[in-house]
Amino acid sequence: MADPPPHHTNADSQGEHQNGAPRDSNTRKMSAGHPAIDTVLGGGIPRNSLYVLTGPPGAGKTILAQQISFTAAKAGSRVVYFTNVSEPHSKIIEHIRSFDFYIPDLVGDRIQMYNITSQVRNKGFKETLDFIVDTIRSEKVDLVVIDTFRGLKHVLDINARARGAIFDAAAQLSILGCTSLLVGEYTPLEVQTEPEFAIADGIIHLRHATEGAQEQRSLRIDKMRGVRYLGGEHSFEINDSGIRVYPRQESLAQAPRYRATNERISTGIPTLDRMMEGGRSVPAARWWSARPAPAKHCWPSIFWPRAPLRESVA
């Protein structure tokens, strides 16, 4: 386990990279590794924000987090990936080696991995959070992943004071000038009460359920500040490419846009025109209601000679 890097100021963390190159401020969002996921996210993951990726065991959280990490590193970003699992890094790499997004040359270069299990056990929770923040500052990180953030809290007995440290750490991550992704298996109650969710700019939830012989996976955005994302449950699968999402078709449908107008079309009945302030507005929809058989089906025909053909407004 490497010793914590030297402490740097906030100004250092928001300036240039360690090699002196300025941060890429032209691209406001980073890709999640597949166009369909980016579509659901409203164009990708906004930079310099804090997100929580949650879901039950086996839902694909780590795969998605690693897919995002390798995609960001391939695009030139600096990534730090913290884990607190008991497995060595060689075994973690072995698990993702079969995915298309895995690029071995990026590990140890643009992707730095730290196992902080012994750190949190030997030095304590707050000291581990300080190490994470200091590493982010010294490495000039663009993307930081903590997998799992919830696991950090449950390694030790978290008391009220430690909860305050969690709040402070999450707040620091949100202002460090990087994108932070906190991974964890949270209960619905924890989503409502844990401090990281109050500070998070976005919450991505993965669901994995088995109904009979059918396996179902879905992705849902529970929260994303300042972004017009696609709501609802979106099916996804895990294949050789990684996470592949299939957005709900109804969420992709674009409502037709109309140009406002004061134009009216006569009904052909002067008294009804006066009741309708000159006739039917264009464009408009009308609901004709009556008891059976009073010729309500004849009403639309009176507009046909009077309604000019129009091209749809794009």
Q: Which of 232, 252, 272 is the last residue of a domain?
A: 252
pLDDT at 113 over 50: yes
pLDDT in tens, 164-217: 766 777 677 777 889 999 998 888 888 888 878 888 899 999 999 887 778 899
Same domain, 82 and 230: yes
Same domain, 280 and 162: no
Question: In whole angstroms, what separates CA 1 from the centre of its chain?
Answer: 32
152 versus 71: the higher-pLDDT residue is 71
Same domain, 245 and 287: no
89 versus 192: the higher-pLDDT residue is 192
Q: For the chain, what percent of residues have pLDDT higher than 90?
A: 36
Q: Which of 234, 252, 270 is the last residue of a domain?
A: 252
Given this model, what pLDDT does residue 106 score? 96
Same domain, 246 and 260: no
pLDDT at 119 over 60: yes
Q: What is the mean pLDDT of residues 94-107?
A: 93
Given this model, what pLDDT does residue 116 score? 85
What are all long-range contacts of 26-31, with beta carbons under 8 Å and residues at least 24 apart? 30/68, 30/71, 30/72, 30/75, 30/77, 30/142, 30/143, 30/179, 31/68, 31/71, 31/72, 31/75
Residue 4 lies in a domain: no
Q: Is the peptide bond before 148 cis (omega within 30 degrees of 0)?
A: yes
Residue 2 lies in a domain: no
Rounded to whole angstroms, the Cα distance separating 299 from 251 reads: 34
The total number of structural domains that make up the chain: 2
The answer to whether 264 and 277 have CB atoms below 8 angstroms apart is: yes
pLDDT at 14 over 60: no
Q: Is the peptide bond before 270 cis (omega within 30 degrees of 0)?
A: no
Residue 201 lies in a domain: yes
Q: Which of the residue ranges 15-24, 159-168, 260-269 would you say has the lowest mean pLDDT?
A: 15-24
Q: CA distances (Å), 268 to each of 154, 263, 274, 304, 309, in order?
A: 75, 15, 11, 11, 18
Identify the domain containing residue 314 by its residue range: 256-314
Residue 3 lies in a domain: no
The answer to whether 286 and 280 have CB atoms below 8 angstroms apart is: yes
Rounded to whole angstroms, the Cα distance separating 271 from 279 reads: 10
Same domain, 20 and 93: yes
**What is the pTM assigned to this prediction?**
0.70
Same domain, 105 and 159: yes
Same domain, 245 and 276: no
Given this model, what pLDDT does residue 215 score? 84
pLDDT at 99 over 80: yes
Going by their DSSP bridges, the two strands 143-147 and 45-46 should be labelled as: unpaired
Residue 111 lies in a domain: yes
241 backbone φψ class: left, alpha, beta (φ>0; ψ -120 to 50)? alpha
Same domain, 196 and 268: no
Residue 37 lies in a domain: yes
Tokens linked to 6 = 């030297």
Given this model, what pLDDT does residue 45 score? 94
Q: For the chain, what percent of residues have pLDDT higher than 70?
A: 71
pLDDT in tens, 240-276: 999 999 998 877 765 445 455 677 778 778 888 888 7
Q: How confident is the model at residue 302 (pLDDT cuts 50, 70, 90)?
A: low
Given this model, what pLDDT does residue 12 score? 37
4 versus 295: the higher-pLDDT residue is 295
Same domain, 248 and 261: no
pLDDT at 17 over 60: no
6: which residues sit within 8 A by CB, 6+ positions away? 134, 138
Given this model, what pLDDT does residue 27 score? 52
Given this model, what pLDDT does residue 7 score? 37
Same domain, 292 and 191: no
Same domain, 309 and 200: no
- In DSSP notation, 199-260 reads H-SEEEEEEEEEETTEEEEEEEEEEETT-----S-EEEEEETTEEEEE--HHHHPPPPP---
Of the CA atoms within 13 Å of residue 240, those in its CB half-sphere come to 2
pLDDT at 152 over 80: no
Residue 86 lies in a domain: yes
Q: How confident is the model at residue 280 (pLDDT cuts 50, 70, 90)?
A: confident
Q: How confident is the model at residue 98 (pLDDT cuts 50, 70, 90)?
A: very high
Q: Which of 79, 98, 109, 197 is nearest to 149 (CA)?
A: 197
Same domain, 274 and 228: no
Q: Which of 198, 226, 252 is the last residue of a domain?
A: 252
Residue 245 lies in a domain: yes
pLDDT at 41 over 70: yes
CATH of the domain at 138: 3.40.50.300
